[in-house]
Amino acid sequence: MNRLYHFPLSPFSRKVRLTLAEKKIEVELVEERYWEQSQEFLRRNPAGKVPILRMDGRFLPDSLAICEYLEETVPDPALLPGKAEARHEVRRLVAWFDGKFNDEVTSKLLGERVFRKLMSTGYPDSTRVKEGAKAIKFHLDYMAWLLEQRRWLAGDVMTLADFAAASHLSCLDYISDVDWDRSEAVRDWYAKIKSRPAFRSLLADQVSGFPPSRQYADLDF
Amino acid sequence: MNRLYHFPLSPFSRKVRLTLAEKKIEVELVEERYWEQSQEFLRRNPAGKVPILRMDGRFLPDSLAICEYLEETVPDPALLPGKAEARHEVRRLVAWFDGKFNDEVTSKLLGERVFRKLMSTGYPDSTRVKEGAKAIKFHLDYMAWLLEQRRWLAGDVMTLADFAAASHLSCLDYISDVDWDRSEAVRDWYAKIKSRPAFRSLLADQVSGFPPSRQYADLDF
Ligand SMILES: N[C@@H](CCC(=O)N[C@@H](CS)C(=O)NCC(=O)O)C(=O)O
Ligand SMILES: N[C@@H](CCC(=O)N[C@@H](CS)C(=O)NCC(=O)O)C(=O)O
């Protein structure tokens, strides 16, 4: 049986979970408190990070490397388009969300408000929380600008770029940190992706000590 | 004419320069002081990061997305192997160097010792410099361990993983921060890659105010 070592509020893990579900690859989820850096965990991935996919007799780390692997081995349905320029645009946006958005928003809001407590590394740094709350506006506006020209973030079909974005936003929505009133285009996009069967497992997530926000699992938010 | 907006001591830019040179794609290099975030630069890449490749009438940001694009459009010579597992291993290692190594080593050594001064953001943080100097040992040992089993970092052929690693190490070697005596395997690997024609342009780099270390351009270091 395939296995995914993950953490519920890890956006990188979520991108892989969405990809697996969309491609209908069954997987057993194993929750990993990655910050404890257990010996066994480091043997599976010396980088000490989740997610790690156990598949085809191997331990495969790194969310983007995993998604590329799944795209190559289970091509249907495709999460990358066919043309090189369009594939570049998807990968650019995956890097945008997993790099820039993660640094400027997710690590500041989720990192301070949830992970500090989970990892027992002190109180939230309110400066960082404020920076994150400010930066998310720029990012939502950028998404809105893209979505005014395109049906999905990278073009006319749903791709890994949408999964990367939805992974971060869903983690932030869990703690009520997304202002869905800021852009109708973004809200409509999120409603579409949230209602996919692949999203269900994410909406059932619970992290003890942190109950999800009221609208988190609501398809009509 | 193709153009690459880059910065000489940006490891992400270097990975793309090596890829372009190895594939014999001619390109005009344009130095971008990316921290000044000029309007024109942000129009080319709203993420505000280098590198950006101007090619086929488009501005293409993000080093990995660029390298994947080049691999798809100019497949020869290949920098990713053919099999999905081997491709995963290359991408895992690219993520290792551009993610983990960059966070734990490059951003702490090069970031504090060079970029703080270039960007006029104060004095080097000596705690971070010490952390970087400690972490690079772990990383060199991990590379040595890989290279005891393999000719190149990801397997028996040279790949993008070698370029990612060499990009970071060459930037650190510019400021004398790599202890080449730590592992013969790593030194031999670096000597091999450093002597490739594709490396020449990197070895000619100069950043004003920061002369390169004595051994930086020496093929017999
Ligand atoms: N490039 C990695 C990043 C994964 C990542 O940063 N995961 C976080 C949890 S969301 C982690 O495990 N952090 C622990 C660490 O960096 O030491 C990927 O895409 O999988
Ligand atoms: N994921 C990007 C990262 C590039 C990156 O971080 N570049 C640095 C220079 S080495 C930069 O432009 N930083 C400016 C910023 O992040 O605002 C890539 O691979 O190209």
Q: Which domains occur in chain B, in start order?
A: 3-73 (3.40.30.10), 84-203 (1.20.1050.10)
Omega prior to B51 cis, within 30 of 0: yes
Nearest C-alpha in A relative to B96: A47
What is the rounded distance in angstroms from the CA atom of residue B32 to the CA atom of residue B35?
A: 9
Q: Is B147:B162 a contact under the CB 8 Å cutoff? A: no
Tell me which of B10, B12, B94 to substitute to probe ligand 2's pocket, judged by most ligand atoms within 8 Å of the beta carbon. Answer: B12
The alpha carbon of A76 is separated from its chain's Cα centroid by a whole number of angstroms, namely 21
Nearest C-alpha in A relative to B60: A88
Indicate whether residue A25 lines ligand 2 (CB < 6 A).
Answer: no
List, for residues A24-36, the tens digit of each pLDDT value: 999 999 999 999 9
In a 13 Å sphere around the CA of A210, the CA atoms on its Cβ side amount to 19
In the predicted model, residues of chain B with pLDDT beneath 50 are none
Place of tokens 């890989």: B146
Residue type, position A135, single letter: A
Please give the DSSP secondary-structure letter assigned to residue B140.
H
* pLDDT value, residue A116: 97
In the predicted model, residues of chain A with pLDDT beneath 50 are none
> Which residues in chain A have Cβ-Cβ distances shorter than 8 Å to B95?
47, 62, 64-65
Please give the DSSP secondary-structure letter assigned to residue A213.
P
What is the rounded distance in angstroms from the CA atom of residue A66 to the CA atom of residue A63?
A: 5
Q: How far is the CA of A136 from the CAs of A3, A106, A140, A142, A169, in angstroms?
A: 33, 9, 6, 10, 10
Q: Do B95 and A65 touch (CB under 8 A)?
A: yes
pTM of the model: 0.99
Centre of ligand 1 to C-alpha B171, Å, is 24
Beta bridge partners of B186: none
Q: Does A66 touch chain B (CB under 8 A)?
A: yes
